[in-house]
């Protein structure tokens, strides 16, 4: 009987622990509606490596970071939405900015330009005692220069929105920025609004195109004789699907871009009725010059090529990359207009001519 009692007690303990673990797991999943590579708690943030099983845990600062250095211009969009651009004191690429407040800060010397990778000039961040740097990749966390920053008590947090496979998962990273600057509630409200707009539009499109044929969509471009295409599990592939397009590489398993041979590209372009390209140029001639071999293809002759550089900023940036991360509903609307309606009304995209 004693043995039976002990076994029964052990079973009860295991059941309680299991219930607690399940409860925590459900709580985490409920908080993250879409994003895969971060988890937030009231006092800690966990960032997961998209390419491995490791993770990094950050404790909540008792004093929200007053000064921030960034490594990706998309991070500015999150901070701008949170009305926190005044915390920015270092940016990576002055020629790719759209936010006038940051541009003015650079001109006045309040904000400095830093380089990236091994060329990053970290000395002034140490001298100016900048407490937080937002990184552009998980791998950056292990770089020697980033380790040097941490040796001087500068927190370095990877922001991995660009690795997510759903456009709403990218936008959900605003919660991480909100957590870091003490604006959790505002970040949640902003994301809830983005989610509602996107899903409402997505449902409306699904009804509208129910009986329509989906256009065959090619995406990607040539860079120095190498072709780079969005993976079939990427957020752009999801946008194309939600907008009613049939992405020609939808069976590909990459979450980011992948390299393809021209032979592969040629075969797919022969099937495509729409070509979506991430280019700032508005000239079809300039676009074709990236790889002259596409010049005689039917899709090029028909002119059904659309670039996302309709709204370029005076400093050299592109609003698509600056604001698109928190405006997935607008990108979705643009793609729908290109596929089925009047592309002239698109916000980020325009037809190359």
pLDDT in tens, 226-237: 899 999 999 999
What tokens were used for 264?
């592969």
What is the distance in angstroms between the CA of the first residue and the CA of the last residue of the chain?
Answer: 86
Q: Quote the CA–CA distance of 171 and 173 in Å, as a whole number.
A: 5
Location of each CATH 3.40.50.1980 domain in the chain: 33-165, 209-351
Q: At what angle do helices 328-340 and 235-242 cross, to 10 degrees?
A: 50
Mean pLDDT of the chain: 89
Residue 271: its pLDDT value, please? Answer: 95
CB 173 within 8 A of CB 136: no
Is the pLDDT reported for residue 42 higher than 90? no
What string of DSSP letters covers 287-329? HHTT-GGGTTSHHHHHT-EEES-SSB-TTS-BHHHHHGGG-HH
Q: What is the mean pLDDT of residues 333-346?
A: 97
Is the pLDDT reported for residue 79 higher than 60? yes
Residue 31: its pLDDT value, please? Answer: 59
DSSP 8-state symbol, 229: E
Instruction: Name the superfamily (CATH) of residues 33-165.
Output: Nitrogenase molybdenum iron protein domain (3.40.50.1980)
**Beta strands across the sheet bearing 38-40:** 38-40, 44-48, 55-59
Assign 202 a pLDDT band (cuts: 50, 70, 90). Answer: very high
Those residues with Cβ within 8 angstroms of residue 244's Cβ, 6 or more apart along the chain or in another chain: 205, 206, 209, 212, 214, 215, 335, 336, 339, 340
Q: What is the mean pLDDT of residues 312-332?
A: 93
Question: Using CA of residue 265, residue 270, residue 273, residue 279, what is the dihedral sign?
Answer: positive
Residue 92: its pLDDT value, please? Answer: 87
Above pLDDT 70, what percent of the chain? 91
Assign 335 a pLDDT band (cuts: 50, 70, 90). Answer: very high
Q: What is the mean pLDDT of residues 8-12?
A: 42
In 87-140, beta strands by DSSP E: 88-91, 112-113, 132-135
Q: What is the mean pLDDT of residues 5-15?
A: 42
Is the pLDDT reported for residue 18 higher than 50? no
Pairing mode, strands 226-230 and 68-70: unpaired
User: Which residue is it, tokens 């991995």?
Assistant: 160
How many Cα atoms occupy the beta-carbon half-sphere of 198 within 13 Å? Answer: 25
Q: Quote the CA–CA distance of 309 and 206 in Å, as a whole number.
A: 27
Q: Tell me which of 98 and 32 has the higher pLDDT.
A: 98
| For the chain, the helix, strand and coil percentages under 3-state DSSP, each to the nearest 5 | 50, 15, 35
Residue 93: its pLDDT value, please? Answer: 81
Asked: is 209-351 a CATH 3.40.50.1980 domain? The reply is yes
Q: What is the mean pLDDT of residues 159-172?
A: 96
Is the pLDDT reported for residue 260 higher than 90? yes
Residue 246: its pLDDT value, please? Answer: 98
12 CB-contact burial (10 Å; exposed 0-12 / middle 13-18 / buried 19+): exposed
Is the pLDDT reported for residue 8 higher than 50? no
Nearest to 122 by CA among 92, 96, 88: 92
Residue 123: its pLDDT value, please? Answer: 87
Gyration radius (Cα) of the chain, Å: 23
Above pLDDT 90, what percent of the chain? 76
């Amino acid at each position: 009987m004693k043995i039976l009692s002990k076994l029964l007690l052990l079973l009860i303990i295991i059941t309680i622990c299991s219930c607690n673990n399940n409860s925590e797991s459900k709580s985490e999943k409920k908080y993250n509606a879409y994003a895969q590579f971060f988890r937030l708690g009231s006092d800690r943030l966990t960032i997961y490596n998209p390419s491995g099983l490791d993770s990094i845990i950050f404790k909540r600062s008792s004093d929200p970071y007053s000064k921030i250095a960034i490594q990706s211009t998309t991070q500015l969009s999150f901070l701008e939405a949170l009305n926190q651009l005044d915390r920015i004191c270092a940016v990576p690429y002055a020629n790719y900015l759209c936010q006038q407040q940051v541009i003015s800060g650079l001109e006045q010397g309040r904000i400095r330009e830093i380089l990236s990778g091994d060329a990053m000039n970290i000395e002034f961040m140490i001298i100016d005692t900048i407490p937080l740097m937002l990184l552009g990749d998980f791998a950056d966390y292990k770089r020697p220069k980033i380790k040097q920053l941490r040796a001087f008590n500068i927190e370095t947090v990877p922001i991995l929105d660009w690795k997510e496979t759903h456009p709403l998962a990218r936008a959900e990273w605003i919660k991480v920025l909100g957590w870091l600057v003490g604006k959790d509630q505002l970040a949640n409200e902003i994301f809830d609004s983005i989610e509602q707009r996107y899903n409402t539009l997505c449902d409306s499109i699904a009804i509208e195109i129910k009986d329509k044929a989906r256009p065959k969509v090619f995406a990607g471009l040539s860079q120095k004789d190498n072709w780079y295409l969005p993976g079939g599990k990427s957020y752009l592939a999801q946008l194309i699907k939600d907008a009613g397009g049939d992405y020609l590489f939808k069976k590909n398993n990459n979450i980011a871009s992948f390299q393809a041979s021209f032979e592969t590209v040629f075969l797919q372009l022969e099937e495509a009725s729409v070509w979506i390209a991430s280019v700032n140029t508005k000239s079809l001639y300039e676009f074709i010059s990236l790889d002259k071999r596409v010049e005689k293809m039917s899709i090029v002759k028909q002119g059904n090529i659309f670039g996302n550089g309709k709204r370029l900023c005076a400093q050299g940036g592109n609003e698509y990359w600056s604001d698109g991360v928190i405006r997935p509903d607008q990108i979705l609307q643009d793609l729908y207009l290109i596929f089925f309606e009047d592309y002239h009304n698109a916000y980020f995209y325009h037809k190359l001519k």
